[in-house]
Amino acid sequence: MDSESNTSTGHVSRKAVLRAALAAGMAAPAVLMGVPALARTLSGGEAPLDLTPECDDGDDLTLPQMEGPYFKPNSPLRSSMPDGTGTRLTVGGYVFGRACRPVSGVLLDFWQADNNGAYDNTGFKFRGHQFTGADGSFKLTTIVPGLYPGRTRHIHVKVQAPGRPILTTQLYFPNEPRNNTDTIFDPRLLMTVRDGSGGREAAFDFVIDVPQNPGPTPTATTTTAPPGGTWTAGRAYAAGDRVTYGGVGYVCLQAHTAMGGWEPPNVPALWRVG
């Protein structure tokens, strides 16, 4: 094996498994149980994980997971999107930090095409955001997105931990013929997908840029309102609500309940200066 085949802890690297699976003509996720899902096999103090590939809006061709033209802010808070006909799909997984520990309170904002390959650009069909639970888990109930010219089947997502940068990326389906012709497709973003009861079941684990040290799962901390600020942890905000924080005015972009770590300067996915 080459130097990339084993980690310092003796685990076979995801890159090596992916290469072997592709060489054998196998569906990579069937071997990997979700490309980043081997994060679940590592325990505390072991080798740091690679990050899930970030999107850079196409500026860097080696990382082509762009946001695309169809993102809209202010998606509803929901984990189920029963917005049309199609094959039922459940996507579940975890969000891990660099030391393979789950991260709670992470914002995941999903959007996708409907069964006919069309995006709802006037409303919020097949758009929604949610937060990871105390164990870092998430679950999305939707349908298998349809195809449209130039692209393979995919789901868009923005991921942001409290006070950390936004990760924008796309999730893909194995064994899709268009995976071979879609110039944006990246096998590192393949989900594990299988037939389930009444539809299909998919799994994917995100590994994001959150520094972690040995200790308990990171959780939100209580934050007091800044002097003269109207933003308050624990309050439910609606899109369009205005607050002040540290002498600066902000406009709410997405309905949510505020919590420590989600102060307006820290979460551009939820607040903008205005």
C-alpha to C-alpha distance for 107 and 268, rounded to whole angstroms: 11
C-alpha to C-alpha distance for 102 and 137, rounded to whole angstroms: 8
- The beta-carbon contacts of 233-241 under 8 Å, at least 24 apart in sequence, are 233/258, 233/259, 233/260, 233/262, 234/258, 234/259, 239/73, 239/74
Domains identified in the chain and CATH numbers: 35-207 (2.60.130.10), 220-274 (2.10.10.20)
Retrieve residue 260's tokens.
Answer: 């420590």
Mean pLDDT, residues 147-168: 92
Question: Any idea which residue has 């995100």 for tokens?
Answer: 206
C-alpha to C-alpha distance for 49 and 73, rounded to whole angstroms: 30
Retrieve residue 223's tokens.
Answer: 């934050």
> E-assigned strands of the chain?
88-96, 107-111, 127-131, 137-143, 154-160, 167-172, 192-196, 199-203, 206-207, 236-237, 242-245, 248-252, 256-257, 271-273
Determine the pLDDT at residue 165: 86
Q: Among residues of the chain, what percentage have pLDDT more than 70?
A: 69
Determine the pLDDT at residue 130: 96
Question: pLDDT tens digits for 242-271?
Answer: 998 888 888 988 777 776 667 888 777 688
Does residue 234 carry a pLDDT above 50? yes
Average pLDDT, the chain: 76
Sign of the CA dihedral with 205 first, then 210, 216, and 218 last: negative
Retrieve residue 234's tokens.
Answer: 């624990």
Mean pLDDT, residues 229-247: 86
Is this prediction's pTM over 0.75? no
Q: Which helix (H) or strand (E) holds 21?
A: helix 14-23
Instruction: Considering only residues 166 and 76, tell me which one the structure prediction assigns the higher pLDDT.
Output: 76
Answer for the pair 15, 45: CB distance below 8 angstroms, yes or no: no
Retrieve residue 166's tokens.
Answer: 């936004």
The region of weakest confidence among 81-90, 160-169, 198-207, 225-234 is: 225-234
Torsion angle defined by CA atoms of residues 252, 254, 257 and 259, in that order, rounded to the nearest 10 degrees: -70
Retrieve residue 53's tokens.
Answer: 């590939």
Answer for the pair 175, 195: CB distance below 8 angstroms, yes or no: no
Question: pLDDT tens digits for 41-77?
Answer: 444 445 666 676 432 333 222 232 678 899 999 899 9
Cβ atoms within 10 Å of 162's Cβ, excluding its own = 22
Give me Rg for the CA atoms of the chain: 19
